[in-house]
């Protein structure tokens, strides 16, 4: 296995960043600094270190599915000491959230120490669809749905094509429940798209990432992904199995 791929699978960083670490002489194999790209290692025989610390075998990779509750942040540390999604999971390995959901958004969040998979799932070039349910103000017309599908200009740049449909209309309450699918992950994208068509979001929940769905998990609950779920995600992300 190539050294940079092994480092990424062990959760050090994305493969591209691991290549930079190797180039900078921060990785050693059997006590020897390696700067060669594509250097082949045997994870079961070679002793590999990063900045002097042992790199664990990829068999220690963890893949968690969390139903993120409201009022939690998707960062390891928060300057305001708000509760983090990391506080909700209890595993011996150090894991990181894949992408971000904002403070008030709920739903499906993957946490892992597999740096390569995390990078691929979040990079727009791999076109991993993320589907959200958005309860918005007002009654949404078919014309508005088409605008969302074709792309909306937010922050000076048009969004990529999306899917959008009405799940339910609450006529008496002047509310509409939408299902919106996007293949990019810009900051607060779904909220900004809805605001741009004059239907601000009241409540937002992510229900799927690729083939992975939230299922029956309650807010704050998490579970380990099944091996077949991990393999499907890797295939969708273009990883060779």
| pLDDT tens sequence across 105-117 | 999 999 998 888 8
Beta bridge partners of 233: none
Q: What percentage of the chain exceeds 70 in pLDDT?
A: 97
CATH code, 175:
3.30.70.1560
* Residue among 41, 44, 38, 39 at smallest CA distance from 56: 44
The answer to whether 200 and 137 are in contact (CB under 8 A) is: yes
CATH code, 95:
3.30.70.580
Q: Are residues 139 and 153 in the same domain?
A: yes
Residue 241 lies inside a defined structural domain of this protein: no
Q: What is the average pLDDT value for the chain, to the nearest integer?
A: 90
Number of domains in the chain: 3
pLDDT digits (tens, 9 = 90+) for 142-192: 999 999 999 999 999 999 999 999 999 998 899 999 999 999 888 899 999
CATH code, 32:
3.10.290.10
Is the pLDDT reported for residue 9 higher than 80? no
Annotate 168-225 with DSSP letters as a single string. Answer: EEEGGGTEEEEEEEES---TTHHHHHHHHTT--EEEEEEEEETTEE-TTPPTT-EEEP
Q: Is residue 42 annotated as part of the catalytic site, yes or no?
A: no
pTM given for the model:
0.76
* Residue among 62, 65, 83 at smallest CA distance from 74: 83
pLDDT at 76: 73
Q: Are residues 147 and 164 in the same domain?
A: yes
What residue numbers bound the domain in which 197 lies?
A: 129-209
Highest mean pLDDT among 56-60, 61-65, 91-95: 61-65
Q: Are residues 32 and 96 in the same domain?
A: no
Name the strand (E) or helix (H) holding 49. Answer: strand 48-50
Name the pairing type of β-strands 106-112 and 201-209.
parallel
With cut-offs at 50, 70 and 90, classify the pLDDT of residue 57. Answer: low
Q: Which of 46, 102, 114, 143 is catalytic?
A: 102
Q: Are residues 51 and 158 in the same domain?
A: no
pLDDT digits (tens, 9 = 90+) for 218-241: 999 999 999 889 989 988 988 754
pLDDT digits (tens, 9 = 90+) for 186-218: 889 999 999 999 999 999 999 999 999 999 999
């Amino acid at each position: 296995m190539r050294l940079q791929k092994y480092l990424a699978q062990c959760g050090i960083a994305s493969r591209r960043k691991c290549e930079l670490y190797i180039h900078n002489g921060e990785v050693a194999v059997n006590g020897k600094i390696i700067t060669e790209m594509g250097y082949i290692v045997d994870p079961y025989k070679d002793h590999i270190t990063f900045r002097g610390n042992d790199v664990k075998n990829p068999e220690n990779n963890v893949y968690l599915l969390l139903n993120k509750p409201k009022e939690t942040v998707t960062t390891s540390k928060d300057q305001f000491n708000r509760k983090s999604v990391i506080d909700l999971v209890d595993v011996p390995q150090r894991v990181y959230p894949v992408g971000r959901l904002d403070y008030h958004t709920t739903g499906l969040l993957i946490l892992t120490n597999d740096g390569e998979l995390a990078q691929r799932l979040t990079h727009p070039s791999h076109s991993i669809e993320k589907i959200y349910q958005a309860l918005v103000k007002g009654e949404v017309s078919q014309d508005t749905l088409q605008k969302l599908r074709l792309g909306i200009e937010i922050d000076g740049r048009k969004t990529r094509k999306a899917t959008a449909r009405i799940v339910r209309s609450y006529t008496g309450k002047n509310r509409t429940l939408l299902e919106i699918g996007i293949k990019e992950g810009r900051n607060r994208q779904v909220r900004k798209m809805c605001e741009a068509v004059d239907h601000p979001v009241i409540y937002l929940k992510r229900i799927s990432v690729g083939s992975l769905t939230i299922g029956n998990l309650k807010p704050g609950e998490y579970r380990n992904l099944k091996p077949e779920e991990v393999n499907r995600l890797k295939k969708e992300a273009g990883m060779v199995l």
